[in-house]
Amino acid sequence: MLAAAGAVLAGFLVAPLVRGLVARFAVPEGEPWCAACPLCGREVRLLPPGGRCPGCRGRLGAGPWSVELVVAAVAVAVARAADGPSAAVLGWTAVLGVVLGFVDARVRRLPYPLTLPLAGGVAVLLAVAALTEGRPGVLLRCLLAACTVGALLELAVWLGALGPGDSPLGFALGGLLGWFGWRAAAGGLLAAVVLAGLWASLRAAVELARRRPVRGLDVPVGPFLLLGALLAVLAG
Ligand SMILES: [Zn+2]
């Protein structure tokens, strides 16, 4: 109970940064990052839960309290799943993962300035965790899992089923899940495919009910990859 309360508190402390990053990176392909409020020009770094610019009170980025609720829920899940050495890598993935999930849901892209630090941070923090635990051998499994999941998603990108940002995310999440074992890596990927499929079916059913064409359903894959990874870590 105390751990959950601490996790929620930590979540609310990082939420303004997460919300600021969502506002900065949730811009359509080909447009510059939104480093400043488009209404008043004030630099955007931290944003309050209401999602309003501190300068002009104009609305920026994600809806009110949406980021904060997701951050708090993920923080509780991570506090539950962390096994000591993996806490830092899970925390890093949770913060950047929530940003990526919101950005992908809003603009259907996973920007490299977010996926590359995620992958790099996961690699470094896994190495630190493995060495402090005195079992460097686990790093080989993490590397193989990262390459397997990353390559599978890269194949899907090559076949046109996914966007180019999905494979670096898969590489990072594959490495993280490799820490928890091959079953976690396979389970996380499978859960992501099933959840994305269910979401696409639901969207298609809604479109059919509204008598609209269901072709070209635009489903963001990033949030499902992240959710699948979280469920796999929790199940492990
Ligand atoms: Zn403003």
Model pLDDT for residues 149-180, shown as the tens digit of each residue: 999 999 998 998 888 888 999 999 999 999 99
CA of 58 to the centre of ligand 1 (A): 5
CA of 176 to the centre of ligand 1 (A): 38
CA distances from 202 to 90, 198, 199, 209, 230 (A): 30, 6, 5, 11, 22
CA of 36 to the centre of ligand 1 (A): 8
CA of 39 to the centre of ligand 1 (A): 5
CA of 37 to the centre of ligand 1 (A): 5
CA of 142 to the centre of ligand 1 (A): 43
CA of 103 to the centre of ligand 1 (A): 20
Please tell me the predicted confidence (pLDDT) of residue 216.
66
Which of 66-70, 171-175, 203-207 has the weakest average pLDDT?
203-207
What distance in Å separates the CA atoms of residue 139 and residue 126, rounded to the nearest whole number? 7
The mean pLDDT value for 199-221 works out to: 85
CA of 97 to the centre of ligand 1 (A): 26
132 confidence band (pLDDT: 50, 70, 90): very high
